[in-house]
Amino acid sequence: MRITRRKFLKMAAAGTALTLAGRPSLSVSKEEYDLAVISGEPAAATKKALEAIGGISRFIRKGQRVVLKPNMSFARTPDFSATTHPLVVATVAQACVEAGAQQVLVLDHTLQRAELCLERTGILEACKNISGVHVLALQEKKFFREIKIPQGKVLERAEVIKEILEGYAVINIPVAKSHSATGVSLGLKGLMGMIWDRESFHSQYNINQAIADLATVIKPQLTILDATRALATGGPGGPGEVKKPNLIIAGVDPVAVDSYGVSVVPWYGQNFKGRQVEHLLIAHQRGLGKIDIDQLKIFKEKA
């Protein structure tokens, strides 16, 4: 399938319309928040965060197909904090199913051998009893399809997981971790798990620009950042220093979620703001989201 600019604009318009139509601001009397930041145990906090953001049904229609994109790129157990906590993934998957999703695919393009990643991260095990949920690692080019990136500064095209071109809703569920090339790896950096050729990001392009480029075409309906643990050094693969902020940060604005994520722990022993992370700043400057967290409306609670 090729996407012409016209088609793309139409799709984008349709997407925007859907998002607007789906906004519960009229039906829910609650004040609308940019972010929900919930502290607590992984499952409980995730549940609460979903409620606070207006319920998953705000994003998932009955009968819809959903892609969940956790970070399960490394064959590491959850305590290394290199991958999303399995209970966070399972809780979101369960919520999608309860909201009437027809099919939930938990997908990632893993860096290490697929079966090991699925097993060691615990995500396969956590999701195996939820009917309609499939945990899959995609490691072959045939599962990806090329799209154009009209607003790309360095990246003109990319091969992305084809489901996201087939009308699946996308929920990004990254883990909070440091990254040796991009400072932190949160939601936006996590989008790199949805493309085939990651290598060129590192070798060919300015990786920070390329991530922002990618964010102009892959727009998750919701980002749920798992900061129950944070890998403060040694990322993305670990081993490194694991901190325990015990937080789940959920929001529609991917830059806002990430920017808040930067503030929750010191990275490599130093405190940073979202603006100090190059790829977040670029994404913000290109109108992809808010970066200053003191200007955000944040719902905070304990689960």
Residues that bind another protein (CB under 8 A): 75, 80, 103, 105, 112-114, 116, 120, 134, 136, 138-140, 142-143, 178-184, 203, 207-208, 233-234, 236-241, 267-270, 272, 275-279, 281
CA distance 250 to 175: 12
> To 10 degrees, what angle do helices 207-215 and 278-285 make?
40
CA distance 256 to 148: 25
Q: At closest approach, how far in Å is the CB of 76 from another protein?
A: 9
The residue among 219 and 243 lying less far from another protein, judged by its C-beta, is 243
Task: Give the CA distances from residue 228 to residues 187, 231, 300, in Å, rounded to whole numbers and listed in that order.
Answer: 15, 10, 15
Q: At closest approach, how far in Å is the CB of 104 from another protein?
A: 10
- Residue burial 149-177, b: 16+ Cβ < 10 Å; e: rest: beebebbeebebbbbbbeebbbbbbbbbb
- Which residue is listed with tokens 């970070």? 71
Pairing of strands 242-243, 169-173: unpaired
The residue among 47 and 120 lying less far from another protein, judged by its C-beta, is 120
The residue among 8 and 272 lying less far from another protein, judged by its C-beta, is 272
Q: At closest approach, how far in Å is the CB of 156 from another protein?
A: 23
The residue among 48 and 120 lying less far from another protein, judged by its C-beta, is 120
In what helix (H) or strand (E) does residue 227 lie, and over which residues does it extend? Answer: strand 222-231
Q: Assess contact for 152 and 50: CB atoms under 8 A.
A: no
The residue among 48 and 109 lying less far from another protein, judged by its C-beta, is 109
Q: At closest approach, how far in Å is the CB of 21 from another protein?
A: 27
Q: Assess contact for 112 and 73: CB atoms under 8 A.
A: yes
Q: At closest approach, how far in Å is the CB of 269 from another protein?
A: 7
The residue among 179 and 229 lying less far from another protein, judged by its C-beta, is 179
Q: Assess contact for 243 and 271: CB atoms under 8 A.
A: no
Q: At closest approach, how far in Å is the CB of 146 from another protein?
A: 18
